[in-house]
Amino acid sequence: MSINKLMVKDVRNLASITLSPSPSINILYGLNGSGKTSVLEAIHLLGLARSFRSAKLKPVVRHGQDKSTVFAQVEAGKGRVLPVGVSRDLNAESFQVRVAGETLKSTAELAHLLPLQIINPDTFKLLEGSPKQRRQFLDWGVFHVKHHDFLPLWKRAQKALKQRNSLLRHGKIKGSSSLAAQLPAWDQELVRAAESVDQLRQEYFKQLLPVFQDVLSELTSLSDIEINYYRGWDRERSLADVLQENVSKDIQSGYTLSGPQRADLRVKVGRTSAVDILSRGQSKLVVCALKLAQGHLYSRISGKKCIFLVDDLPSELDGPHRKGMCRLLEKMKTQVFITCVEAGALNDCWQPDTDLRMFHVKQGTVNLESGREIRQTELAGDRA
Ligand SMILES: Nc1ncnc2c1ncn2[C@@H]1O[C@H](COP(=O)(O)OP(=O)(O)OP(=O)(O)O)[C@@H](O)[C@H]1O
Ligand SMILES: [Mg+2]
């Protein structure tokens, strides 16, 4: 899976750009505010019909315009090229996705068609943030390798949970007898879906862990990193028992305290939580290793590749670790879009035979550079 032509219209400061990326490594460099992250954001719009920077559409659409459009030709394997177009209109709630002339109704289908992995400053939230970030990370993997099984089960669990929570809240007001009558049906539905979701998550995590350890050891000498999967309720007991036992606590809180909505990945160094002990650079390496491991596993299981979007790769990393990251990205033989400020920041990080394309981003325009080696002095032209 790779993009061989990308056209972006009215995303942030990109009025209208066209580029023909390499199927391997693409570097977008330019000064702060030139539009590098916006190019990645446009690719994200193409893959998921939404931005990774803003939950709202308005900040994404170029000022003064009312819609953003991204179009691409996607190499879908076996010589098939699919035209994919996504447009988001400020005046319409929904999005428009066209693939090979057909309209797609769901973003899940789009995500399945164009799997993306993003590494950006927000990715740190994987370690620092709430369990939700780590659940989303885990579910990306389960969704992409068990697409047909996972999504319906996950939706069933969500629906049962929503109904159960609403019942808990209303039951508190109406009294316990109506609650006691209705709760078992939703418990049963939640338990069935939750146990299957947990099973799929567990299977996926078991496969991911050794890949992560391999990637991490290639990237850094950090040892002692341990990751455990917590399913959201006691390992020793069934969810049915836990729900029954905790029912009065659940009524008190007005929501369900245990279940797959509380699942988490616990990352530790020895016995201490990783977030309390790792430096910024070390955290970045661990997070990168997790993302790269997912990419590897995805291609091993599905036989397809996902596209990597890496925003500001050099930041926080010293020379040897930058090289290590580049080497691993290169080895994945997948399409990668990397942004950096300085053109020369990743100059000596690539094999001579890698199809490397450098794009200079300047005030919302994107131009392909002819040579591989970009001299630092070229950036002086930006500042003028
Ligand atoms: N809706 C919008 N319409 C027009 N311009 C916008 C809009 N939103 C943001 N911008 C501007 O777009 C420019 C590009 O932002 P972007 O984040 O892509 O820059 P960047 O090259 O990634 O910079 P940095 O190196 O600082 O990360 C910025 O100057 C920003 O002020
Ligand atoms: Mg940026």
Task: Give Rg (Cα) of the chain.
Answer: 23
Do the Cβ atoms of 233 and 259 come closer than 8 Å?
A: yes
pLDDT attached to residue 374: 46
Strand ranges for 95-188 from DSSP E = 95-99, 102-104, 116-119
Strand 95-99 relative to strand 102-104: parallel, antiparallel, unpaired? Answer: antiparallel
Q: How far apart are the first and last CA of the chain?
A: 39
| Architecture per CATH, 126-301 | Up-down Bundle (1.20)
What is the residue type of 196? S
| Nearest ligand 1 atom, CA 361 | 21
Q: From CA 18, how far away is CA 70, in angstroms rounded?
A: 10
Do the Cβ atoms of 259 and 194 come closer than 8 Å?
A: yes
Which residue has the CA at smallest separation from atom 28 of ligand 1? 33
Domain 1-115+304-384 listed as CATH 3.30.2130.10: no
Tell me the per-residue pLDDT of 272-292, one tens digit each, with 9 for 90 and over. 999 999 999 999 999 999 999
| Choice from 10, 31, 36 to test ligand 1 binding pocket (greatest atom count within 8 A of CB) | 36
Query: Which tokens belong to 82?
Result: 């699919």
Do the Cβ atoms of 8 and 14 come closer than 8 Å?
A: yes
Q: From CA 329, how far away is CA 126, in angstroms rounded?
A: 20
From the CB of 59, is ligand 1 less than 6 Å away?
yes
Alpha carbon of 301 to ligand 1 centroid (Å): 37
Three-state DSSP class for residue 273: strand
Sheet holding 264-269, edge to edge: 225-230, 264-269, 272-273
Average pLDDT over residues 36-55: 94
From the CB of 62, is ligand 1 less than 6 Å away?
yes
Alpha carbon of 39 to ligand 2 centroid (Å): 9
Percent of the chain whose predicted confidence (pLDDT) is above 90 = 77
Alpha carbon of 241 to ligand 2 centroid (Å): 49
pLDDT attached to residue 138: 96
Alpha carbon of 123 to ligand 2 centroid (Å): 14
List the chain domain ranges: 1-115+304-384, 126-301
From the CB of 36, is ligand 1 less than 6 Å away?
yes
From the CB of 13, is ligand 1 less than 6 Å away?
yes
Alpha carbon of 67 to ligand 2 centroid (Å): 22
Q: From CA 87, how far away is CA 85, in angstroms rounded?
A: 7
From the CB of 341, is ligand 1 less than 6 Å away?
yes
From the CB of 63, is ligand 1 less than 6 Å away?
yes
| Choice from 8, 10, 13 to test ligand 1 binding pocket (greatest atom count within 8 A of CB) | 13
pLDDT attached to residue 148: 78
User: 94: pLDDT confidence band, cut at 50, 70 and 90?
Assistant: confident
Tell me the per-residue pLDDT of 219-268, one tens digit each, with 9 for 90 and over. 999 878 999 999 999 999 999 999 999 998 998 899 999 999 999 999 99
pLDDT attached to residue 176: 62
